[in-house]
């Protein structure tokens, strides 16, 4: 079947893009468009043209899979096709439904009139792929929607609803019936009226405000500096929009093309493409085929309404799934529900949630103090205290009261899911759902597969994660699963660096500049240093006496009540809200601890900080892959991008490691092992790949 189809409706021809699932504008579609334009533009019987998408959407833009590959000869590029279309003297109308993203919206902007169906999302998300709208989007959007709106949309990559698009002038009309029919009628009316085509490229009125405000771009760059640090694409987007204001359309388009070419093969774009595909690949599990029967999750239960349980209940309610929360007693239940209400209220107060939406969500949450209340639900998440005897007791009860086909999930972060499953007579229906805090905000969900979790249980839970708006990544049972197990390596080395000579603010600066939202010490202060302190004390007996202990300074901070932001002091002081201020008292404590430990403090370079923090993290990722705890290197990357803020433009730790070179990392790990100890020994898989001159991407 051809990638475009033509249907004649009287004098109007409808060209449909037919390239499932998203009508990507790959070479077959572009050839199809070329043939269609050749046929229709020269056919006098055709007075107007409509462009539409077959299937789910108009078009998600360029076919990302073709990036980095030379197009077949004689296939026109998208910018040329769009220019050609726009030049047509016959009216061309876009009938948009579902999604018009990237090149898809650029194609629509080349049309003379745009009609969108309800529930359509439109935007230019190229920046999220490390590139820019390279088919005229940076030139046409500012002309159509104004420079300020174009800057915001193109640099954020945000998709807008058809209603917002109408307000911004990106679409001209919302269709209430069939958008194609409405577009055909419009094309016909425009042709009959003999109205000259309204070309986006000629609509200079959108540029006027910016021409009289030349400081606009510098101002915008200042505002985006924090978010865009370390990246090229957002700045290139701004330069192109600036060019739209400065240069005639054709020159601006040329400028955009040059900038696009520079970005598309750079590491930043490769990293972001990798992240895009890795996020989609996580859903594919080799031994759980796509057609595995799943059970519908229409009702849910959450056991424990503390920090995590409350957030998880919100996650279900936000997805429209009625949820029953069970607490120990009515006081704990009331406190938990009040916290949920307060959380929603804070969002309403900030204007980010409508009151009636909050009310509807609260109405989906029911409290109970008896387990029988969850007897009929489809899916239960347990989030009680992190103690094995309590978890086992809870699962014993759930097994007794819940319907036989219900799935029982645990939110444990450190305990053995198999041991928990052993407390039931249905280990095949038990699984881990490791949400990240705050559960209603963080997108990552580690789905922990037990030894006996059935394919149906896994498929249902992975499907549910999507329904809940989470990125579910399947992991195996081990201490810390994927994310926290790697985090442990990173935090430990950060602590050692401080004992050896760096200050918390040095480490945090290097990590922040690398692209994380914050460094390890600011993060510990945010999460609460007491959390790790309690875990260390509980595990102290297990700590091998011949192994260096990384908690000395943190323990001392906690002994002084410096738990972090919540107590106004931790690794930093917090005088005004959440801004960390380096504290001489902490520096004195650090110096004293180094002395007591017999460590002569030395100057530590930024490069060493980066390597010591990140290489052991990558090394642990290699062990995780070796053991099969994660299915793919890309899955590890997704965990780190969504759970820990690893900069997306670096592709995640495993992708980044490939860009550094595994030989370099393995050599550094050997050196670290010799200098510091066996815990830094390179993973076998790292050594193997390095010796074969391969990367994690080749696995």
Of 334, 360, 265, which Cα lies nearest the Cα of 68? 265
Q: Please identify, using beta-carbon distances, which residue of 211 and 261 lies nearer to ligand CAA.
A: 261
Q: Is the peptide bond before 669 cis (omega within 30 degrees of 0)?
A: no
Task: Considering only CA atoms, give the Rg of the chain.
Answer: 28
Distances in Å between the alpha carbon of 119 and those of 21, 110, 159, 162, 165?
Answer: 18, 22, 12, 7, 11
Beta-sheet strands, E only, within 212-343: 300-303, 323-326
Catalytic one of 7, 66, 86, 126: 126
Q: Taking CB under 6 A as the rule, does residue 129 contact ligand CAA?
A: yes
User: What are residue 319's phi and psi, to 5 degrees?
Assistant: -90, 5
Length of the chain equals 699
Q: How far is the CB of 574 from ligand NAI (least distance, A)?
A: 20
Q: Is 106 a catalytic residue?
A: yes
Q: Taking CB under 6 A as the rule, does residue 637 contact ligand CAA?
A: no
Burial 85-97 (b: 16+ CB within 10 A, else e): bbebebbbbbbbb
Contacts of ligand CAA in 16-35 (CB under 6 A): 21-22, 24
Q: What angle do CA 201, 207, 211 make, to 5 degrees?
A: 140
Part of the chain binding ligand NAI (CB under 6 A), chosen from 159-167, 380-388, 470-478, 485-493 = 380-388
Task: Give dist(CA 621, CA 624) in Å, integer.
Answer: 5
Q: Taking CB under 6 A as the rule, does residue 135 contact ligand CAA?
A: yes
Q: Please identify, using beta-carbon distances, which residue of 134 and 621 lies nearer to ligand CAA.
A: 134
Q: How far is the CB of 264 from ligand CAA (least distance, A)?
A: 8
Contacts of ligand CAA in 230-289 (CB under 6 A): 280
Inter-residue contact 680 to 667 (CB < 8 Å): no
With CB under 6 A as the contact rule, the residue among 127, 131, 303, 337 that binds ligand NAI is: 303
Q: Taking CB under 6 A as the rule, does residue 102 contact ligand CAA?
A: yes
With CB under 6 A as the contact rule, the residue among 53, 91, 125, 616 that binds ligand CAA is: 125
Q: Taking CB under 6 A as the rule, does residue 484 contact ligand NAI?
A: no
Contacts of ligand CAA in 29-88 (CB under 6 A): 60-65, 78
Site string for ligand CAA, 660-679 (x = CB under 6 A): --------------------
Task: Give dist(CA 317, CA 591) in Å, integer.
Answer: 49
Q: How far is the CB of 415 from ligand NAI (least distance, A)?
A: 7
Part of the chain binding ligand NAI (CB under 6 A), chosen from 187-195, 207-215, 323-331, 590-598 = 323-331
Inter-residue contact 403 to 376 (CB < 8 Å): yes
- The conformational region for residue 296 under phi > 0 = left, psi -120 to 50 = alpha, else beta, is beta
Q: How far is the CB of 379 from ligand CAA (least distance, A)?
A: 22
Which residue has the CB atom at the shortest distance from ligand CAA?
102
With CB under 6 A as the contact rule, the residue among 86, 126, 327, 525 that binds ligand NAI is: 327
Copy the structure tokens of residue 402.
């819940």
Q: Please identify, using beta-carbon distances, which residue of 130 and 532 lies nearer to ligand NAI.
A: 532
With CB under 6 A as the contact rule, the residue among 31, 413, 424, 433 that binds ligand NAI is: 413
Residues whose CB falls within 8 Å of the CB of residue 507, separated by 6 or more in sequence, listed in order: 494, 497, 498, 519, 520, 521, 609, 613
Q: How far is the CB of 93 from ligand CAA (least distance, A)?
A: 21
Q: How many CA atoms lie within 13 A of 474 on its CB side?
A: 25
Copy the structure tokens of residue 266.
């750079």
Q: Taking CB under 6 A as the rule, does residue 412 contact ligand NAI?
A: yes
Contacts of ligand NAI in 425-444 (CB under 6 A): 434-435, 437
With CB under 6 A as the contact rule, the residue among 3, 33, 99, 609 that binds ligand CAA is: 99
427 binds, among ligand CAA, ligand NAI, none (CB under 5 to 8 A by kind): none
Chain position carrying tokens 């009628």: 185
CB atoms within 10 A of CB 681: 15
CB atoms within 10 A of CB 484: 18
With CB under 6 A as the contact rule, the residue among 138, 411, 457, 565 that binds ligand NAI is: 411
Q: Do the bridges between strand 430-435 and strand 444-449 make them parallel or antiparallel, or are there none, so unpaired?
A: antiparallel
Inter-residue contact 167 to 144 (CB < 8 Å): no
Q: How far is the CB of 680 from ligand NAI (least distance, A)?
A: 27
Which residues are designated catalytic? 106, 126
Binding site for ligand NAI (CB under 6 A): 303-309, 326-328, 332, 336, 383-386, 390, 394, 411-413, 434-435, 437
Binding site for ligand CAA (CB under 6 A): 21-22, 24, 60-65, 78, 99, 101-103, 106, 125-126, 129, 133-135, 137, 280
């Amino acid at each position: 079947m051809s990638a475009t189809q033509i249907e004649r409706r009287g004098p109007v021809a409808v060209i449909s893009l037919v390239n499932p699932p998203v009508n990507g504008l790959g070479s077959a579609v572009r050839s199809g468009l070329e043939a269609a334009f050749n046929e229709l533009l020269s056919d006098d019987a055709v007075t107007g043209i409509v462009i539409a998408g077959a299937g789910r959407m108009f078009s998600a833009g360029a076919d990302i899979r073709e990036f980095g590959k030379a197009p077949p000869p004689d296939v026109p590029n998208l910018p040329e096709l769009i220019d050609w279309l726009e030049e047509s003297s016959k009216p061309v109308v876009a009938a948009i439904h579902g999604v018009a993203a990237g090149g898809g919206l650029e194609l629509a902007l080349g049309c003379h009139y745009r009609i969108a169906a309800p529930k359509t999302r439109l935007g230019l998300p190229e920046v999220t792929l490390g590139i820019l709208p390279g088919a005229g989007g940076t030139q046409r959007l500012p002309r159509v929607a104004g420079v300020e709106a174009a800057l915001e949309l193109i640099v954020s990559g945000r998709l807008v609803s058809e209603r917002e698009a109408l307000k911004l002038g990106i679409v001209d009309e919302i269709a209430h019936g069939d958008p194609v029919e409405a577009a055909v009628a419009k094309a016909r009316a425009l042709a009959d009226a003999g109205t000259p085509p309204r070309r986006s490229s000629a609509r200079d009125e959108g540029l006027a405000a910016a021409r009289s405000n030349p400081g606009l771009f510098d101002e915008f760059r200042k505002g985006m500096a924090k978010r865009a640090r370390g990246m090229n694409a957002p700045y290139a987007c701004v330069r192109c929009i600036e060019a739209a204001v400065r240069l005639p359309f054709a020159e601006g388009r040329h400028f955009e093309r040059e900038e696009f070419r520079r970005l598309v093969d750079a590491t930043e774009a490769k990293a972001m493409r990798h992240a895009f595909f890795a996020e989609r690949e996580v859903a594919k599990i080799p031994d759980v085929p796509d057609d595995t029967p799943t059970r519908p999750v229409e009702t849910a239960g959450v056991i424990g309404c503390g920090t995590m349980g409350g957030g998880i209940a919100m996650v279900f309610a936000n997805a429209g799934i009625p949820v029953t929360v069970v607490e120990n007693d009515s006081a704990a239940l009331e406190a938990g529900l009040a916290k949920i209400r307060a959380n929603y209220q804070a969002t309403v107060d900030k204007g980010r949630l409508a009151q009636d939406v909050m009310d509807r969500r609260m109405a989906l949450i029911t409290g109970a103090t008896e387990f029988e209340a969850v007897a009929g639900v489809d899916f239960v998440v347990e989030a009680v205290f992190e103690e094995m005897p309590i978890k086992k007791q809870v699962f014993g009860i759930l097994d007794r009261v819940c319907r036989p086909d219900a799935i029982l999930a645990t939110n444990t972060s450190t305990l053995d899911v198999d041991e928990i499953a052993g407390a039931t007579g249905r280990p095949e229906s038990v699984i881990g759902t490791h949400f990240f805090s705050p559960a209603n905000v963080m997108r990552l969900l580690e789905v922990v597969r037990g030894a006996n979790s059935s394919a149906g249980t896994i498929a249902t839970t992975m499907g549910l994660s999507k329904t809940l708006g989470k990125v579910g990544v399947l992991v195996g049972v081990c201490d810390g699963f994927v994310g926290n197990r790697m985090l442990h390596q990173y935090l430990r080395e950060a602590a050692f660096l401080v004992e050896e000579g760096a200050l918390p603010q040095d480490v945090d600066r290097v990590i922040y500049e690398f692209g994380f939202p914050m460094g390890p010490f600011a993060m510990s202060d945010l999460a609460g240093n007491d959390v790790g302190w309690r875990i260390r004390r509980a595990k102290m007996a297990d700590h091998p006496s011949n192994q260096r202990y990384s908690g000395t300074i943190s323990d001392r901070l906690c002994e002084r009540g410096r738990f972090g932001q919540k107590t106004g002091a931790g690794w930093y002081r917090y005088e005004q809200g959440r801004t960390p201020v380096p504290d001489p008292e902490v520096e004195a404590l650090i110096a004293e601890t180094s002395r007591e430990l017999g460590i002569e403090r030395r100057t530590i370079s930024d490069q060493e900080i980066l390597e010591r923090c990140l290489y052991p993290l990558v090394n642990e990722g290699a062990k995780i892959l070796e053991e099969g705890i994660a299915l793919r290197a890309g899955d590890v990357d997704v965990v780190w991008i969504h759970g820990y803020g690893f900069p997306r433009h670096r592709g995640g730790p495993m992708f980044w490691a490939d860009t550094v070179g595994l030989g370099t990392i393995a050599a550094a790990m050997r050196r670290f092992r010799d200098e510091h100890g066996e815990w830094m020994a390179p993973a076998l898989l790292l050594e193997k790949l390095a010796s074969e001159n391969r990367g994690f991407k080749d696995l």
